[in-house]
Chain A
Amino acid sequence: MALRHFSIELEELHALLLQMGELVESSIRRSVQSLVERDKELAKAVMRDEPRVNQMQVEIDSKTTRLLALNQPVARDLRFLTATLKINTDLERMGDLAVNIAERAIALINLPAVKPLVDIPKMAALAQNMLLKSLEAFVRADADLAQSILPSDDEVDALKDSVYQELVELMQRDPVTIPAAVDLIFVARNLERIADHATNIAEDVIFLAKGIDVRHHMADHPK
């Protein structure tokens, strides 16, 4: 198969992955918005998008596997394709986590509001930014950009801890708030895990950049 064809296929794969990333980013944004604005319809819209995300995951997976099988890529392209399989899994999980947040939002709409939400939207904004940048870093093979998102993960973790502390105190002061507070703790954890998945992607990009050197070394010294 002509090389030019293969590179077009790789570009299509980039585009699909970015498209899936944008869809997942929008699910995260809307799930948190539905929570803050107590908007049931918006939460349901996020849940309705889930099959699309799943469909894209299967499509990317089978396209990647086909490229692996038919083109027998070596070195850099091979690393890229195996990383694609992993990143695809991370994206699908992030989509699931956004759906979980939408489900919590619906549960919370049926309960009285317990507190104004400040840190949770902050966590979401950080996680969304991490997702978009990590994917951009991947398609541009930019290890520095990937590295630049890692500190945000610590910020998200710190916010999760402070949300947790605040909610435990609230529950102890006022046990009536317990069901709602437990749901909010789940939301904070889901956002933390979304940030973890973005971190996985960034780490894959950094590893990919290093792995290219290793591959070249192997090609120079065949066993």
Chain B
Amino acid sequence: MRHFVEELEDLQGRLLEMGTLVESAIHQSVQALEERSEELARQVLGNEDRINHLEIEIDELAVRLLALQQPMARDLRFLTAAIKINTDLERMGDLAVNIVERAMALIQRPAVKPSIDMPQMARTVESMVRKSLDAFVKREPELARSVLLADDTVDQLRDTIITELVSFMQDNPAKIPQGLDLILVARHLERIADHATNIAEDTLFLVKGVDVRHHLEPNF
């Protein structure tokens, strides 16, 4: 059997590979929406299987390491964080697919006036995803904390976008289906941001051994 340290590095490498795939799926899904590009949309759908496959591989590797190596302390925290981050990444991939499904529906209908807030929300979310993965790989708590702060900005942007779209639909009842699709896109982006926040929280737990979820006091 290979050395435990190498196995851990392998696990981190695969998580990173999965992170890169998910990051690009999110980017392409937003681009497909903005450019009304069916080709980009299909690329995202084409990568879904690879992401799902990687999720299972990573899960099996992490569980095997837990079982056979009986790790303690920091390695144990890394493995439990890896299992959680893996789940978050897979869900983020699913959400990118959901965005693509909305993009496909929107492409079939007449274009609606582009909003300024949606691209800003997308950029903020993409940057949260990148930073949460960087923070995890480099074990940088400060970077992880910056992700937690950005989550509030994303929630505010989502509220603004929904309010705008509700009045847009009231003024243009013929474009209600498009309005609803865009509202759903805003929700999907918000949920991607929530998963990035989870990754940042898991990173803080990993680095500091402190549970920052739900703003509870450290219980270790």
Q: Is the CB of B67 within 8 A of A68?
A: no
- Which residues of B from 63 to 79 have beta carbons under 8 Å from A? 63, 66-67, 70, 72-73, 76-77
Given contacts A65-B77, A175-B173, 5 further A-B contacts (CB under 8 A): A51-B214, A55-B214, A68-B76, A189-B184, A215-B67
Q: Which of B73, B84, B211 interacts with A58 by CB under 8 Å?
A: B211
**Partner-B contacts on A (CB < 8 A):** 51, 54-55, 57-58, 61-62, 65, 68-69, 72, 74-75, 78-79, 82, 85-86, 89, 168, 171-172, 175-176, 178-179, 182, 185-186, 189, 215, 223
Give A195 Cβ to nearest chain B Cβ, in Å: 15
Q: Is the CB of A178 within 8 A of B166?
A: yes
Q: Is the CB of B211 within 8 A of A178?
A: no
Q: Does B80 contact A (CB under 8 A)?
A: yes
What residues of chain A lie closer than 8 Å to B184, measured between beta carbons? 189
Q: Is the CB of A175 within 8 A of B84?
A: no
- A176 to B173 Cα, complex, angstroms: 10
Q: Is the CB of A62 within 8 A of B211?
A: yes
**Partner-A contacts on B (CB < 8 A):** 1, 62-63, 66-67, 70, 72-73, 76-77, 80, 83-84, 87, 162, 166, 169-170, 173-174, 176-177, 180, 183-184, 187, 211, 213-214, 216, 219-220
Given contacts A51-B214, A58-B216, A175-B170, contact A78 B67 (CB under 8 A): yes
Q: Is the CB of A65 within 8 A of B76?
A: yes
- A57 to B220 Cα, complex, angstroms: 15
Q: Is the CB of A65 within 8 A of B173?
A: no
- A54 to B80 Cα, complex, angstroms: 19
- A42 to B177 Cα, complex, angstroms: 33
- A51 to B213 Cα, complex, angstroms: 11
Q: Is the CB of B183 within 8 A of A182?
A: yes
What residues of chain B lie closer than 8 Å to A89, measured between beta carbons? 84, 87
Listed by A's residue number, 20 A-B pairs whose Cβ atoms lie within 8 Å are A54-B214, A54-B216, A55-B214, A57-B214, A58-B211, A58-B213, A62-B220, A69-B73, A72-B70, A74-B67, A78-B63, A79-B63, A82-B83, A85-B83, A89-B84, A172-B173, A172-B176, A179-B166, A186-B187, A223-B1
What residues of chain B lie closer than 8 Å to A186, measured between beta carbons? 187
